[in-house]
Amino acid sequence: MINCDLPVQALRISVPYVLAALGGVVSERSGVINIGLEGMMLLGAFGTVVGTLMTGSPLAGLGFGLLAGLLLAAVHATATGVFRADHIVSGLAINLLAAGATRVLLKRLYHSSSNSPRIEGITSLVTGHGLLALLAHPLVWVTVGLVAGVWWLLNRTVLGLRLSSVGEHPEAAAAAGLRVLRLRAIGVMMSGMLAGMSGAWLAFDQHQFTDGMSGGRGYIALAAMIFGKWRPVPAAAACILFGSAEAIQMALQGGSAGIPVQLVQTLPYVLTLVALAGAIGRARPPAAVGRPYP
């Protein structure tokens, strides 16, 4: 019974990682480090719940979630672009801002510091937690589509190639007539929407917003993005690897395999360190990532 459930659970855990990691890829390929993914995810989850409660429609809720991620990303794009702020500092501020804002708003709107009222999730043809339920979930297919879409964008479209060029060599791109800051802003804002959708998944999965529910997933997604060497498909694969490690760790806890749980829990982080250390081919970030322009 477990044998069938485990891979499904791993994939289910991976979905929000994949969405956020794609966001990381788009932003960093355009030259902007985005550790604000965590905060964009959190605000996206909050926006989804507020939108769903206000309109009664999960689809509109999703729209709100995307918008929330987008707004926060716009702040990051402005700070790093127009004001040349350090990308890490701005990202950190984004995360603090999202944590504080959601807490204040949660209390203001729903009189709780713990959780929001319940929302309807995405209705799907198959309920439950098996393979069929996963395959019937529309957001799963949206995610698969987005992995392919981001690959297509970055490798096969003019916009994608321009995004990559401002991440690699903004001066050259500018000399070729590209508007660097505008392109970077587009990259960051797409990133915000992807992270927002990741948050929406969490909110729909829990049928509510709870304080700090992103739970560090944005950072794990960032690690997966690095593990995947800033490319969408390998990054998604890394997310599934991390999700699997988590599922295995959960399965081991219940059983009596005798393997220390804490050891399995550290697996994703160890793997990321190994990847960063360059053991699995050299991890080369976009040349101009984190560098302000002009």
Q: Which residues bind other proteins (CB under 8 A)?
A: 1-2, 5, 9, 12-13, 16, 79, 83-86, 88-90, 93, 99-100, 107, 111-115, 127-129, 202, 205-208, 210-213, 215-217, 246-247, 250-251, 253-254, 261-262, 265, 290
CB closer to other proteins, 12 vs 29: 12
CB closer to other proteins, 150 vs 224: 224
CB closer to other proteins, 56 vs 100: 100
Taking the CA atoms of residue 144, residue 166, residue 71 and residue 58 in that order, the dihedral angle to the nearest 10 degrees is: -10
- Least separation, in Å, of the C-beta of 151 and other proteins? 27
Which of these, 215, 220, 222, lies nearest to 199 by C-alpha position? Answer: 215
CB closer to other proteins, 85 vs 283: 85
How close are the terminal C-alpha atoms of the chain, in Å?
Answer: 58
- Least separation, in Å, of the C-beta of 155 and other proteins? 30
- Least separation, in Å, of the C-beta of 225 and other proteins? 19
- Least separation, in Å, of the C-beta of 182 and other proteins? 21
- Least separation, in Å, of the C-beta of 212 and other proteins? 5
CB closer to other proteins, 16 vs 47: 16
Which residues, in sequence order, are CB contacts of 232 under 8 Å at separation 6+? 22, 25, 147, 150, 151, 154
